[in-house]
Amino acid sequence: MTRDETSLLARVEALLADPAHARHPLHEALEDLYRHHLEEKERLERLISISDTYQRYAREDELSARQRYDKALKRQAKLSRISDRYQQLMREHNLALKQDSTHDPLTGLPNRRLFGERLKQEAKCAKRHPQSYTLAMLDIDHFKRINDRHGHDVGDQVLVAIAHVMRQELRDYDLCARWGGEEFLLLLADTQLEEAHAIVDRLRQRLSEIPITVGDMTLSITASAGLSEHRNGENPLEETLHRADQALLRAKRSGRDRSCVDLA
């Protein structure tokens, strides 16, 4: 309320309270006007108060809505990070599972399953571009003696060293799998028997040069191998492999440390 208004109201109140003006013809009308003014003033103050309260709540609501929004954003970002990490873990887990299911844990070489898959691919390719490949079954000679004389751990180390040499010596498009204990199966892609024979003999030579140190002794190993070239229409995992096995048997029977080819 301004000072003018306050003093005007004070003057009116004084006039109305003065008994000398009680019977004045304007007394009643002035009194009505005075009360009406007071009521209007009160109503206006109430409205202002309601409006202030409303604005305060609106500001608070806006603030808390913004805080809720920020909080939700942060939670969303956190969930995205967790989800990304989870997906990354799943990818790593799946890769590890795939690696475990297709590779030998000791040597890291492909296992039978991967070899079988690769042979199927080879068969598909052969339909489009007929080409020859050779299978070679390679077996370490008298491996049991190494285990018996020097222990299983030394045997394991020899297997790991053999796998290392295989990886070094073979071409990228060949495949060497650990087929069993000390048996390895080689797929020599796009290679006929004669060439494969030379490759396998070079590989056997490298294997015999692996220095195996046990205490102050140095041992060496030899290997025998049997080879067969895949024939058109032949089931590789049954017929071709069987012929390679037979050739390996001949290599073992005729004194080991050699390779035999299947010519049947």
Ligand X SMILES: Nc1nc2c(ncn2[C@@H]2O[C@H](COP(=O)(O)OP(=O)(O)OP(=O)(O)O)[C@@H](O)[C@H]2O)c(=O)[nH]1
Residue numbers at the binding site for ligand X (CB under 6 A): 106, 139-144, 147, 152, 155-156, 159, 181-182, 252, 256
Which residues are CB-neighbours of 72 under 8 A, at least 6 positions away?
none
- Asked if 28 is an active-site residue, the reply is no
How far apart CA 117 and CA 8 sit, in angstroms, is 106
**DSSP label at 19?**
G
**Between 242 and 252, whose beta carbon lies closer to ligand X?**
252
The DSSP annotation for 152-219 comes to HHHHHHHHHHHHHHHHHHS-TT-EEEE-SSSEEEEEETT--HHHHHHHHHHHHHHHHT--EEETTEEE
Contact 158, 166 (CB under 8 A): no
Q: What is the CA 233 to chain-centroid distance, rounded?
A: 40
The DSSP annotation for 93-123 comes to HHHHHHHHHHB-TTT--B-HHHHHHHHHHHH
In the complex, minimum distance from the CB of residue 118 to ligand X, in angstroms, rounded to a whole number = 22
From the number of C-beta atoms within 10 Å of its C-beta (0-12, 13-18, 19+), residue 259 rates as buried
In the complex, minimum distance from the CB of residue 151 to ligand X, in angstroms, rounded to a whole number = 8
**Between 192 and 246, whose beta carbon lies closer to ligand X?**
246
In the complex, minimum distance from the CB of residue 102 to ligand X, in angstroms, rounded to a whole number = 18
**Between 27 and 258, whose beta carbon lies closer to ligand X?**
258
Tokens 């020859």 belong to residue: 132
In the complex, minimum distance from the CB of residue 94 to ligand X, in angstroms, rounded to a whole number = 27
Q: Kindly name the residue from 42, 182, 194, 209 that is annotated as catalytic.
A: 182
**Between 175 and 223, whose beta carbon lies closer to ligand X?**
223
**Between 119 and 163, whose beta carbon lies closer to ligand X?**
163
In the complex, minimum distance from the CB of residue 148 to ligand X, in angstroms, rounded to a whole number = 7
Catalytic residue list? 182
